[in-house]
Each structure stands twice: as structure tokens, then as C-alpha cells.
Structure 1
Amino acid sequence: MSDNRPKRPLFDSRMKTERDYWLKRLGGEPVPTGVHPDFERAGAGARRPGRLEVAVPDELRERLMRLTNGAPLLVYAAVLAGLQVCLSRHARSTTVIAGSPAPRAAEPNALAILSEVDERTPFRQLLLDVRATLDEAYANASYPFGRVVRDLGLTAAVDRCPLFDVALAHEALHAPLPELNNDITITLRPSGDALVCDVDYHAGLFHGSTVEAFVRHLLTLTSAALADVDRPVGELDMTNVAERQQLLVDWNDTRRDYPHDRAVHELFEEQTAATPDAPAVVCGSEVITYEQLNRRANRLAHRLRALGAGPEVCVGICLERSPELIVGMLAVLKAGGVYVPLDTEYPRERLAFMLEDTRARLLLTREEFVGLLPAGDARVVRVEEAGAGDELSDQNPPAGASADNLVYVMYTSGSTGEPKGVAVTHRGVVRLVKSANYVRLGPGEVVLQFATTAFDASTFEVWGALLNGACLAVAPPPPLGLEELGAFVRGAGVTTLWLTAGLFHQVAEGGLGDFRGVRQLLAGGDVLSAPHVRRALEAVPSLALINGYGPTECTTFACCHVMRAAGEVGSAVPIGRPITNTDVYVLDVGMRPAPVGVVGELYIGGPGLARGYVNRPELTAERFVPHQFSKEPGARLYRTGDAVRYLHDGTIEFIGRGDRQVKVRGFRVELGEVEAALLQCPGVRDTVVTARADQSGDKTLTAYLVADEGATLMPQEVRAHMEQRLPAYMLPTDYLFLPELPLNRNGKVDRARLPAPERNRRDPSERFVAPRTETERRVAEVWCEVLGLDAVGVNDNFFRLGGHSLLATKVMTRLREIFEVELSLGHIFETPTVAELAALVERSTATAGAVAGGGIERVPRGEEDLAQVLAELSRLSEVEVQSLLAQEGLGADGTSVNE
């Protein structure tokens, strides 16, 4: 029997109307908005169902009844409006999308409900907008969700719904929601006179406590909204009184007595009086007692004061790691001055800016560095001569600077094209190292001094030791490789040390054989790898491993997380809790406390805050804002720009940067400063710089450039221009030349449309010459393998192709394995092209024997082999050893946070 009913077209006019609605409503770049997961989405695996039930408080249920008379659609709209506000807070976005099932009268389907949440909008208006959006969505509920996704050009991932993370349903109103792999689904269910929330969630992504807290925050906010529907949504609170007490007061109970009215040098002099014969500084066979160090610093201080040093007067210090450096720093402070660390590896133009910006009156250095430094107004004081002479007193100079005066100025990358000088006071340093609750400092401790003084880890090292009666073990001057460092740590009996995250990862990979006497290991400057932390704690059970976080503007550390057992380390390493006499707050865009689990910006307060930026009052006012939670007149908070969230135990988890600041090889880099330097290059009309992870996971910079009309940009000229203006860590690895920068519909650079760098970094103006011999071919293969390139010519320069110190180490290691010849790291600096290096190999093999056959194979390396490889790093400079190499350890992922 035939079916004479009319057939519905596969795509009739109604379906077209509905499709047009969804494309218009969701067009652009829709992004799922939800709760930040507790576990990495990539490692969550197959969905593991979790379920919990949360009762709607009676107060909210009664307010819903008064507003809606219990009508399911109205109840649902009110809670959905509250959900959109919550999602806006979690995603830190004004555009949010929640999921909704289709109404029961329709076929089962999923609807994406998009709302624009302006914090100034009264909740009443948002509720009306949400209700209107629901009416429109329900009128277009027949168009399949899968087609919406396809028509929008979105990728339907198997582990995540492409349009929304959180869905809300009402049992009496909606058909079942199709299985879409969204993270959380909340179903409102009447139960007698009560109303409950049945919550289904992905247990592979979330702790149940995180999801429960999210639902309770939704209910708290919705109740506050219904109590006063005319309040702007930005004023609605997700936390109750008890939570605010916990966030603002209990978790900031860090106040302890410390000598807040004393200057750094005064506390050193007090320590000298207490332990005059105790070792203060050791370096190799040289041992300097507290009394000897004090007298040497006094003589130099009297000379500096006679030359004009005094309170708020800046004195540049350009010295290598040595006892003389410690004497110089202490002498500047005793003279009442402010020390400004200068790194000789920086371009002369950058050093000149620092000296001019600080109006440095004196420049303390050695004869060997004078020729490297820019000519300027600062009077050069040679350390070899300055402290000599019987006429100089070795007694303490009269009191000069006070706790409120500046102690040093350190420069970090600046977004406007110039580095910014962070001006730190004596009180900030004293708060860091006295009455500390994150580390044990005192007589009997031996603290390693390894960090360059241009980074504020040296602040902890030097003054943490010398203001507490400990011994400062000054590592030999560069070059110094990891093998030599380990030998020094073991030989000097170091008990406490600071390592950058990258260097810590290297040490953990190597087995920590030389570090078994260390009791306290602080690491930071980047995200710590949890597997490496566990490995270290398993290798040295007596070790306390401390994750230290803090920007330069807050004097080295603001938060620390102490770990003593591998079993207590989760999938990520938190940055911990505020250290002594430090306030930290996680605030949303409205400067309200973000509840536990909600991502916000980290703000830091307390006496550790810097005075501000040198000669940058506008930037100081922008980053140092009034402390709204303090009763102390003039108290301030520093806006870090770091996205973080509180965990349920009160520790803080670092999520990422909220601006265009990145970490490259452990250095803080403002992409805007790199762009500003590029725009100064003749012929460059427009540019944008991005940070990308290379094949090993390390961050590299890519510069996109647009030439002026009629101009021709040559890669080698742009590189040369940049090398004269920026430190090596700020130089782009890749330069891509475009006719125009791609823009989005808002007229901003569309970074998603910027092309990825090609696997060929050769300068197109240079003629490509393919390898001609077997040795050249195999050397080129190693370069391609290590640099991630498709082809390398015999005249290509390793460092022009994006190579740097650690990659050079890998190349030389592979060549030793293949050719079975002795090659040092220095050879690649001396012979940086394939042709030159291959010729060196052939000369070496002619002496050592025949070249080994076979292709390039990865050879396993043991601990001793790795140590031998890393020992080659002894040829590197201060910056390369302490920064470039250290920050590129295996496992480092390049995210920042401490200077």
C-alpha cells in the first residue's frame, strides 16, 4: 500500500529560515564559555560521568516563586540569566554561550543561547533579553545542532562540544539534551515544595567540589539578582559573607613582626656585630668573614660617598659574579646609594638608556669592561682602584638611606618599546628575607649565589644570606656549565639555592647526584613541570622544593608553594600562598574577589611592592592601584596581569598571562617592545610579533612585517637592525614578510590568520648550495633534525637559522655520536656553517680514524653522558649559561612569572 502523504523537502523554506537565524545569531567566532578544568583536557581521556545534587536554597526558591508564580519557562529564564553572568565571570568575556535543550514539544535538539553581558546592564534588562532570545531560539529549534556546527565552519571535536561547555535544563520544560560531550549540564527539578539541581559533569576534567562550588555560586548570584532586579549585573556577588571573609582575610593572614624600619646595610652591620668571624662569602679557596666583608665594603663606600653617592643617587654596577660584586653592592648601599645592575651582554644602546634613565652619577666596573660600556655622564669607578688606599676608613659610614629609600633599580621589558626600571625600596628587600615563612635562613645555611644581578633572584640569594648570618657561596664567574655548577654545589656544601625552572628541569633530568646535600631548592621564573618535581623529591627525600612566584615589581617573591614529598604533587604545581607580610587577591574585572575556582587577575599588596617605574608616572599609576581592601592610607595593589584561580585548599594556581607579555627562555618579554624596535627599521610600515612553541615546546618569537610602499626589506638587514637594539632573548627567530596584516571585522590584527613559519628559515637573497659530500649531508641532516627544518645549505649559518646555545649543544652531541670524534661546543661558534663544520669533522676523522657508517639514529644517553654533554656549556657567557641554557631545559614550556 503506497504512502500518498506529501513528502517534506529535505531543505524547505522553514529550514532555510532557521539556518539563517542561527548563522546570524552565532556568526563570527563563537567560543565555548565554561568553568576552567581541574585537569588538562588533552589528558582527560574518555568521558567519565560524575553526578551530584545541589538543593536550591529556600530564599532563592521563594524569590523565584514570587517572580514567576512557578511557571517553568520563567523560572528557567531567571536562572539562565544568572548562569550567563556566572559564565561571563568565569570566561572573563562579555560574550557567553550556554546550552539549552529544545522544548518538549519539539524534536530532541540542542540550542546555543548567546548573550552579551554588559556589567552596567540591570539584571531586569538582561532577564528580558534572555527571555527574548529563548523565544527566538525555541521558534528555530528544528534546525539540527550538528548542521549549525557544520554551517558555522566549526570542528566537532570528539571530547568537547564546539559551542558551549555548560548547559541548563528544566525537567518540566525540556526534552532530553542530546549527548554532546559538554562539560556540565544542570537540570532544575521540582521535588515537592523544593527545587533541586541535578548536575552531570565530566569527572575526568573536574573535581566534584569544583562543580558543586560553581552551582552554589550560580544560585548565590541569582538570589542576589532577584532581591534587586534593577542592580547592574556587575554589582552582583557570587560569594557569601563567609566566603569573602576567607578570600580577603583568612587566606591573607600573613602579618608577622620584622624590622620594617631598618635599611638593608644596617641589618648587615647588625649581623656583622653579632657574628664577626663567621664566613660571609666563599668563592673557591677565598673565604671572607662578616667583619672582613664589612671593612672592605666600608672603604669602597667612603670613596663612593666622596664622589657623590647618597640617598636616591643611582650607581651602575657592571661586574661579573665574584666577591667584588658583593662588596660593590654592599658599598653602594652603605654610601646611601641605589645600585643599578648592568649586564655587559646587552646592546650598548640599551645600557646607555638605563644609565641615562636612572641619571646614574657613578658607574662601578672593572677595567676589562670599560671599553664595552657606552660613553655617558656617569663617572667610571674602577673597582680595582676604588677601595685601595690607607686614607680610606674601614669603619661604618654614618647612616645614609632609610627603609623608605630606594635600594636598587632593575630593568624589565617594556610594552612601549623601552625597558622599564623597577624602583625597589629597602623595606621591600627586608620584608623578603626577614621573618620569612617559606624558607629557613640563618647561621649554618650555605646559600648559592648564581643568578645574574640583573634578575631579582639575586636579591634573595645575596640578602637572604647576608642579613641572616648565613654563608653566601659565590659560584665562579662564567663560563660555568652544569657539571661545574654541580661540583661547586657539592664542594661548597650548598644547602639552599635558587634555580630557574629550566635549569631545575635540567638538574632533575641529570639525577641530582651533586645536589643531595641541598636541603632547600627554590625554583621558578616559569611553570614547573610536575613530573620533574616528583623526580627530584624521590631522588632527594630530605629536600624541600619550593615553587617561588613573584614579579620584579613585588621584590622577587609574592607566593611560594613548599613541597616535601612526591605524593603530594598533582598534575600541576601551584604557585602557593602569599609569603610573610604579603597580601594577594584574585579579582574579577570589576575588582571583586573571584570565588574559589573562578579565574581572575592576581593583585599583590604589602611592603614588598616597588615604589613604581622610573620616570614613568602614568605606567606606575596604571599598574599600582589603590588598595581597596586596606585601611592603611596610601596602600596600593600591583596588577600582575597574570590569570590565576584559588583552589579549594587556599593555594593559587597559575593559568596564564592576560596580556601580550610572554616568557622566552625564562626572560620576561613584552611583544610590544619587540614590535617598536622593528618599526624603527627603515622600510617597515607595519608589524606584529607573536610567540609560538617550537617542536621541543620552547617559545620562539615570529615577526610579521609589511614594507613601506616601494621599499624592499632584506632579512639580513632587519636582523642586523634588531641585534643592535635588543638582547638576544628578545630577537625573533623567524621573519615573515606580508603584503598586509590580516584584520578581523573589528579592524584588529587577526592573529589566527597569520601564517605559521615555514620549515625553511633561509634568507631568500642567499643562493642555496646543497650538501656536496657525505659528511656535509649528514651534518645538514642533524641541523634539520634539531632545528625542525626541511633543508639546509652548506653556507647557511646555524645561528641565523634560529639556532642558539642549547640547540648547539644538541647538534654537537649528535655529531660526536655519528662520527665518533671529539667535538666541543665552541667549535660550532667558530665554524657556524655546514661547510665549515663538515670540514672540521673531516679533519678530526682523518686523525681519529674512519667515519662511522649508517644513518642518523637516536642514541640513548645515561646520566654520565648527559653530564659530559652539559659540561660543554662551560664555553658560554653569563647570560647564555644562566638564562638561555637554563630556561631551555627539557620539559620547560615557556609560560612566566618570576623575574
Structure 2
Amino acid sequence: MSSHAAQLPTDRPRGVDAPACTAVVRQEIPGLYDDAVRALAASCATTPENVLLAGFAALVYRYSGQNQVEFRVGREGGKEALLRFSVTGGSTLRGLAGEAGAVAHPGTAPARLGVRIGAPPVDGDPRPYEAELALPAADTGSRWAALHFDDGLFAPATAQRMLSHYGHLLTDAVCHPDRPLEQLALLTEAEQRRVLLEWNDTAVTLPHEGACLHEVFQERARQAPEAVAVVQGTARRTFREIDAAANRLARHLRDLGVGPDDRVGLFLDHSPELLVAMLGVLKAGGAYVPLDPGYPRARLTTMISGASCVALISRTGLADALGSGADSVVQGQLILLDRDGAALAERPEDDLEPVAGPDNLCYVIHTSGSTGRPKPIALRHRGVLNNIADLNTRFAVGPGDSVLGLSSPSFDMSVYEFLGMTAAGGTLVLPAPGRAKEPAHWAELAAEHGVTVWNTAPALLELVLDHLDATAADGPASLRSLRLIMLAGDWIPVKMPDRTREFAPDARFVSLGGATEASIYSTLYEVEATDPGWTSIPYGRPMANQRTYLLDEALQPVPPGVTGELYLAGDGLAVGYLDLPELTAERFLDWSYGPVSGERLYRTGDLARCDADGLIELLGRTDLQVKIHGLRVELTEIESVLRDHPRIKEAAVAARPDATGAPVLVGYVVPREGEVLDPDEIRDRLATRLPAHMVPGTLLVLSAMPLSPNGKLDRKALPAAPSPHDGDRDGAVPAGAAPSGPWEERIAAAWREVLGVEAIGRDDDFFRLGGDSMKALRSMTQVPEITLVDLYRHSTLRLLAAHLEATAGGPGGAERSPGPDAAV
């Protein structure tokens, strides 16, 4: 098979067993041999057949996106000629017809033009051609073309549509032979209306239109003041209490000068006070900026500065991490809710006069940035409330419902948990302090409070399912109260819906897609049953008052089945990146095409395609953005920080599957001449500037980066990360260091499964073996007696086992005494 064989997008995965070209569709194409085709052929000193062949090459280019393709062209006597095309966006039909003429000159035209696409069988490989276009000879006068295709790969409707597009593209190309191929019309007017308008007919009037997020909360406080808004441990705060506290805080903020669109940082753990702070900032007219207490100070400094925070809200003790005096990263006024509690309590608690409207900012969330700095994304009340109202209306979420608050405030899924559930009059259930990362605790809370709604990245639900599988005796009841499961932020395992229904049989399972730049969610797909042929869960269709477009590089819509880049539009779009006009202009575009005019789009960078009914399937990325445990990571940001190291000359980062199949970050560095690099020192340095999930678990020192023939970094040629024991003991445990005793053996078994490492010794460190926070949580589902604090404080097998022996007794025996992380 040639490396340049054209590969058409198929309806079903490719295999080697199905016979080739077992079906055919036919269609009349009026312009096959008309005067325009003959005139173009004459001007190119070639044949009409070669003009038709060039037109088909243009179609394959538009369908596949490949710049180098090969065709097998049928000739007299059953012989075939191999024809290679080099196609770019600037190529024209006239140019391609000239290339075709190099194979078949005037006077040697075939009696029948048969163009075979795909992989020819070579070296005994039974792999068939994917499709063959058969066109009549010029002297027959026929206008009927036939497309023979492998119905193991293509649905008949797809083949018919491909043939229709050939005729449409050929007509436009012959009329405009010098127009770049990417600008030629591919879709008919009817298809344009369906793809652009009918599939985006999402306009609907939702509750709370024209309101702000805090106004919806305070309306709930008036309707049911004693209803419980948030629960944490034994603390239960009512809507009246939260609303009153937020009003007092808002008055204090206004006195400090906070007004519409001003940004206020929130440096708080998950707590009822975080909800008070969110609402207080919004009631003052400002926008809140979540600042994760787990982030390094250097990153917090960048975020606070990038968002131009005029004030910051925190608590005594927690705020110590921000520094003090000249060393403080705080800009503007620092408000400590405990220290300033007495002064705040003296302020009036009645509602304030509104100063902000639905088009003002409500929050600014940072995501990983390709320039080495996190990007601040500015969102408006209108878009966020539209999304919340859509979900609550669609799934009848209201009083009596509750949701676990597990998402970091720096992740926009938390917006629904804190402000979406309470907007419906439901209850937010928060983990106990110090237990926010214990899957066993999440399951306990779900059962104890009868939680009805789950809203997380897939990885967190999977942790709970793992825990329930490991504790089957009492597990099935934990999630039985769930009636709605919403997952977003990362790929959902195809088997997860069925696996989840074993524990939550009555829950509706919903896949949500979108981007922080488009107000949390933009697409939705409810999984009622999984298809055995799925390779991924469908991405869905646009939600209320939102629109999706799949466009090619020339910003033209692609046909169903053809890969394009996903663009989002509608009420959810962000204002843009705060104080970054060039980046905003690069990612947010003004666009018009066919029946659509004046649309503002967000370019996601996601590659996707849709089926004949408009259902979107996500395929990958156009750039170096990856998802690690549901969190967006720009590999170029990590590379930029690595290159700041004074002893590093070059750096690259890749996301590679570990032994368990989960994506992990691997860093590659080349030292400056004469320098020696210590991977541990580099990782420690990265941890001072990047969140933990962005620090590569493995760093490889290379003598040089692999380069492609054009001199650029060849990322595919970067070496695979070695096993944690490669190069030192060949996977064998040193004599005398094997796990000893029931605790060590039990922990070692869990680590082997979670880390995919066979050889584990007593003095091995969990994190040096490739462990991270998510793998730590997975190990806790195998050994529930372990807490995250335990593992970070006692990270070797020997120390962790000794700690558990002292606090928990024998494995599976007496209950452990509460550690410092279990405080409430």
C-alpha cells in the first residue's frame, strides 16, 4: 500500500475481511462532457476525461484533507495507471487537469475512466480498494456516473451523497477553473440550509431570560428562605442565610469601589463561604475569579495580575500562601472572611439595588495557555444563565434535587454545582474538609443525602465506580438515588453508561461537550443505549440558543461524514480573553457563509464530523492541547516553562498512554552544551510554576530532538517513556526488598494494578513509580483505609504500611482512628 493512497472518511471502521466494492450507486451528472469541459481540456492540452479525473481529485482532497494522494486509473485492456496528485489549498482544477495529462495524453484516452480510491492489495494483503468511480467514455454521450463502493465501509446514502458532491463540485470547478479548490462549492443549497440552519434551529425562550445569576438565587431565597442551599458535614445553610451573608459582603465590596465588570479573586476551599463569596461579588456587580489554593504562588501571581483583580477574598491561614507585605501576590484589598466577620455582620442584609445586567461579566476562569501563561476567559451572565436554565428545564431539576460539589472552582463545571443547582432551588452537598479527594467519601455522601444529580468529569465517576466494585457488599445503594448523570470535560469510556447503570439503574446518562469559552456546555447527547460499533460516545447536538458548525480550513461547511473543525456560536460565547485582543481575534471570528450572515464563532481546535442526521462525533485536536483527568493542558505552555530553565537548550512534552492506558505527560529535554540535567530538580522547579496536573511524571534527557526532513520537531519520533524500573533493575525487585507482611502485600497489589508496574519493592516511592493525584485516588479505591494525606506524607510502601498498621490495625480489621484529614 502506498503511503499516499487516498483515504476517504468511512461510516464504519476499516477491516480486512469484508469483500471490496460490493455495492453501487448511480447518478446523472449533466455537465460531464459539455462544451465547458471540452474547452477547458483544450486549453490545458489534455482530454475531457482528465478534466473529469482532476475534478474527482479535487473532491477527494476536500473529503480527506490529504495533500498527497494516489489514484489507480483504469485503462484499455484492463490495465491500470498510477496517478499521483500533490494538492494544496491553492491548487486549481486547471492545474490538476495538467497533472492528469502527464499520465494520459490526448489520443490515448481510455474507453472507460475508472478511478480507484484507497489501498490497493499488495504483497498478498487482501485489503481491498475503498471505492471506484466509473465514468462513461466521451463518445457514448451518457451523463451517468457510477460509484462502486465497499458497503462494509460506507452506507449507500454516503456513497450517493459523495457522487452528488462530485457533480456539484465539478460544475463549479469547470465554471471557475482558476479558483482555489478550497473555495469551490461542495454542498448544494438544500444541504447548506440543513447543515447550517435546520441543525442549528435551537432558539427557545428559557426561564430567567434577562436576569443575572445572583438575581435567580435571591428569588429562590424569597420563595423558600428556609430551604437548605448548601450542606457540608453538620453545617446546613439555608437560602436565607446564604443570601443575607452575600448581601453584607456585596455592600462591603461596593464600599471598596467594586462595580460592574470589576474582578475579585476568590482564594477559598470548597465551603459554604465560597458560595457566599461568589454571590457577594456578583451582587456587588463584579465578576469572580477562582484561584485554586493548590496552585503554586508563581501561577497565582500571573492569574491575579492577568485578571486585574481589584480585591481578593480568602480566610486567615489559607491566605498565608499568598505571602505578606512586599512579598504578597495580592492586588487591591484583601478581605478575610473570618478576620473581617464582625465588621461584615454589622452591614444590612437586605437586597442591593442592581448595578449589573445580563451582558456584564460574571466570572473569569483561567485555562492553560500556549504562550506559557494561563489564559483568562471572561464570561457573561447571559450565556451562563442560558446554559443553566437549559439544563434545569430540560431535566426538570428543582427543589428536592441535590448535587455533589466535586469540581474545582477553577474548572467551569463547578459553576453548575454552585450556581446552577441553587438556581433551581436544589441543594449543593460539599465533601467534608480534608476529604474532598476521597471516592469512598463521595459515595457515602451520595447515599447519606440521597443525591439526585451527578456532574463531573468522567474520571471522577470512574473512581467511584471502582470503589463500589471493590466494596460490592454495600456499594449498590450508594448511587441508587441518582436520577441524572452529566459528564463533560473529557472522553467518556464507551462502557461507562452500562457500568454506571449497575449502581444507578434509574439515572439518565448525559454526555455534555463544549468549551470554557462558551459558557460551560454547548452540546448534549443523552445515552439511552450504547451501540456495539461505537468507538466513542457521541458528542451530541447543540443545546438551546447555541449553534455548532463543522468547517474546513477555508471556513466552508463540510458534508456529513467529513472531518472538519468544530466552531461554536450562540448565546454562550465568552466576551473573549481578558486584555488579550490578539488572541481573542485569533480564536473568536466574525463569519458569514451562504444563508448565515454575521455569526460570531469560537474556534475550538476540536476535529469532528457529523452523521447524516447532524449528530456530532469528536475525533481529536488540530493543536497540542490535551486533556489530563478532564483538565485542559496546552503542551506548549509546559514546554515554555521548561525552556526557561537556564540549563535546558530544547524541550518538548507529549501525552502518552501509561501501562494502564491512561494519558500521562512525558517531558523531553536537551541540555545546553556542557550541562548535566537532574530530572528531579527540573520537576521540582516546574512545580513552583505549574499546577500538579501539568508537571510531567517522567522527564527524559536526550542528546538531540528528533527532526523531520524539513528540520522541525518530529513529535511522533519522540521515544516512549521507559518503565519506572528500566535501566536499573530490569523490572526485578532487589533481594530483601520484596513486600513483607499483609499491609505491604495489599498495598503493593493495589499499586501494581494502578501503576501498571509489576516489580514493587518496600522502599519504592509511589510518585517516583509514575503515580499522580488521580492514580493516588484509584489506589484508595483498592485500599480504602488510605487517605490522600497518608499517601503524600508516607509515599513509600514501607512507610505507608507502617502508618496503616499503627492507625488501622490489621487489613480489613479495626476501624482506623481519624487522621488530620478527617476533621470536619
Query: Which of the five TM-score ranges fits, normalised by the shorter chain?
Result: 0.7 to 0.9
Q: Which moved more, 1:449-458 or 1:367-376?
A: 367-376
- Correspondent of 1:833 among 767, 782, 796: 796
Q: Aligned residue for 2:708?
A: 744
Partner of 1:282: 231
Between 573-582 and 437-446, the greater mean CA deviation after superposition: 437-446
What residue in structure 2 maps to residue 184 of structure 1? 131
C-alpha contact 1:99 1:166 (8 A) present in aligned 2? no
Provide the C-alpha distance between the structure 1 equivalents of 2:808 and 2:384, rounded to a whole number of angstroms: 59
Task: Give the drift of 1:183.
Answer: 2.9
1:526-545 deviation digits (Å, cap 9, x = unpaired): 11122221333466453221
- Once the two structures are TM-superposed, the CA of residue 762 in structure 1 deviates from its matched residue by 7.5
* Counterpart-to-counterpart distance in 1, 2:565 and 2:630: 21
Which of 543, 550, 560 lines up with 2:524 in the alignment?
A: 560
Show the counterpart of 2:244: 295
Check 1:261–1:387 CA distance in 2 against 1; reply closer, same or farther (3 A cut): farther
Deviation at 1:286, TM superposition (A): 3.8
1:370 equivalent in alignment to 2:283? no
Alpha-carbon distance between aligned partners in 1 of 2:232 and 2:374, rounded to the nearest angstrom: 33
Map 1:810-825 onto structure 2 (within 5 A): none
1:868-887 equivalences under 5 Å are: none
- Pick from 75, 91, 94: which aligns with 1:124? 94
Offset of residue 247 of structure 1: 0.8
1:46 to 17, 32, 48: 17
1:398 is matched with which residue: 335, 347, 353? 353
Corresponding residue for 1:307?
A: 256
Please report how far the alpha carbon of residue 647 of structure 1 lies from its aligned counterpart in structure 2 after TM superposition: 1.1
Contact 2:447/2:477 (8 A) holds in 1: no
Q: CA deviation at 1:446?
A: 2.5
* Residues 35-93 of structure 1: per-residue CA shift (max 9 Å, x gap): 2333444xx4622556333223242335389528999x945433332232223223334
Aligned in 2, Cα 1:127/1:569: closer, same or farther, shift over 3 Å?
closer
TM superposition shift of 1:761: 5.9
Amino acid aligned to 2:69: I
Alignment of 1:221-260 (within 5 A): 221-258=169-206, 259-260=208-209
| Residue identity matched to 1:185 | E
Q: Within 5 Å, which residues of 2 pair with 1:665-814?
A: 665-760=629-724, 770-775=734-739, 787-788=755-756, 796-808=764-776
Alignment CA distance shift 1:182-1:691 (3 Å):
farther
Corresponding residue SS for 1:627: strand
Give 2:69's match in structure 1, choosing from 97, 100, 103. 97
Unaligned 5+ segments in structure 1 are 1-21, 140-162, 169-176, 850-864, 879-899
Q: Match for 2:70: what amino acid? A: A
- Is the 8 Å Cα contact of residues 825 and 872 (structure 1) preserved in structure 2? no
| Mapped pair 1:82 → 2:47 | no
Q: Is the 8 A contact 1:314 1:362 kept in 2?
A: yes
Which of 388, 397, 413 does residue 433 from structure 1 map onto?
388
Tell me, yes or no, if structure 1 residue 504 matches structure 2 residue 461.
Answer: yes
Matches within 5 A, 1:145-156: none
**More displaced stretch, 443-452 vs 418-427:** 443-452
**Superposition deviation, residue 691 in structure 1:** 1.2
- CA-CA distance at 1:833 after TM superposition: 3.4
| Partner Cα distance (2:817, 2:98) in 1 | 69
- Equivalent residue for 2:335? 381
**Counterpart secondary structure, 1:515:** coil
- Residue range with higher mean Cα deviation, 61-70 or 565-574: 61-70
Quick one: structure 1 residues 686 and 541, their matched pair in 2 at CA, closer, same or farther if it must change by over 3 Å? same
- Cα pair distance change 1:631/1:400, threshold 3 Å: farther
Residue 407 of structure 1, aligned match among 362, 381, 384 = 362
Alpha-carbon distance in structure 1 between the residues aligned to 2:496 and 2:774: 19
Shift of 1:410: 0.6
1:888 corresponding residue in structure 2: none
Retained in 1: the 8 A contact 2:546–2:571?
yes
TM-superposed CA distance for 1:373, in Å, is 2.0
Paired residue for 1:326?
275
* Aligned counterpart in structure 1 of residue 84 of structure 2, from 114, 117, 120: 114
Q: Percent same amino acid at aligned positions?
A: 32
Kept in 2, the 8 Å contact 1:479–1:875? The answer is no
Structure 1 CA distance for aligned equivalents of residues 504 and 19 of structure 2: 36
TM-score with structure 1 length normalisation?
A: 0.79
> Are residues 1:662 and 2:626 paired?
yes
CA shift at 1:464, angstroms?
A: 1.8
1:332, 1:69 → 2: CA distance? 67
Report which stretch shifted further, 507-516 or 710-719.
507-516
Check the 8 A contact 1:302/1:392 in 2, yes or no: yes
Match of 1:423 among 363, 378, 384: 378
Q: Which residue of 2 aligns with 1:897?
A: none
Which letter does structure 2 place at the counterpart of 1:737?
A: V
Paired residues for 1:159-174 under 5 Å: 165=118
| Contact preservation (8 Å) 1:344, 1:373 | no
Distance 2:819 2:654 in 1: 32
Aligned match for 2:7, one of 22, 34, 54: 34
Q: Tell me the SS of whatever aligns to 2:322.
A: coil
Which one of 272, 292, 312 corresponds to residue 343 of structure 1?
292
CA-CA distance at 1:620 after TM superposition: 0.7
Which one is further off, 354-363 or 78-87? 78-87
1:56 aligns with 2:40: no
Match of 1:469 among 425, 430, 433: 425
The answer for the alignment partner of 2:472 in structure 1 is none
Instruction: State the distance in 1 between where 2:71 and 2:13 align.
Output: 22
Query: CA separation in 2, counterparts of 1:364 and 1:623?
Result: 31
Cα deviation for residue 550 of structure 1 reads 0.9
Report the Cα offset of residue 775 of structure 1.
3.2
Q: Which amino acid aligns with 2:333?
A: R
1:730 Cα deviation from its structure 2 partner = 0.7
Mapped contact 2:120–2:127 kept (Cα < 8 A): no
Does the CA contact (< 8 Å) of 2:357 and 2:381 recur in 1? yes
SS at match of 1:60: coil
Separation in 2, partners of 1:846, 1:455: 35
- Mapped partners of 1:104, 1:434: distance in 2: 66
Aligned to 1:264: 213
How far is the alpha carbon of 1:351 from its aligned partner? 0.8
How much does 1:786 deviate? 5.1
The answer as to whether partners of 1:31 and 1:164 remain within 8 angstroms in 2 is no
Alignment coverage as a number of residue pairs = 785
Q: 1:735 to 1:466 in 2, by over 3 A?
A: same
The answer for the alignment partner of 2:113 in structure 1 is none
Q: Is the contact between residue 75 and residue 81 of structure 2 (CA under 8 Å) also seen in structure 1? A: no
- Measured after TM superposition, the shift of residue 876 of structure 1 is 8.3
User: Could you say which residue in structure 2 is the equivalent of 1:610?
Assistant: 574
Paired residue secondary structure (1:372): helix
> Would you say the 8 A contact 1:760–1:791 is kept in 2?
no
Does the Cα contact within 8 Å between 1:642 and 1:654 map onto a contact in 2? Answer: yes
Distance 1:538 1:810 in 2: 20
Q: Tell me if the contact between 2:592 and 2:598 (Cα under 8 Å) persists in the aligned partners.
A: no
Checking the alignment, whether the CA contact within 8 Å between 1:537 and 1:564 is kept in structure 2 is: no
Q: Structure 1 residues 371, 103: closer, same or farther in 2, change over 3 A?
A: same
The alignment partner of 1:514 has SS state of coil
1:484 aligns with 2:441: yes
**What do the CA deviations read for 1:641-700 (whole angstroms, capped 9, x no partner)?**
000111112111101111010111221110110001101112101111111111211111
1:753 Cα deviation after fit: 2.4
TM-score when normalising by structure 2: 0.86
- AA aligned to 1:500 is A
1:394 is paired with a residue whose SS is: coil
> How many Å separate the matches in 1 of 2:11 and 2:559?
15
SS at match of 1:183: strand
Q: Distance in 2 between matches of 1:876 and 1:197?
A: 70
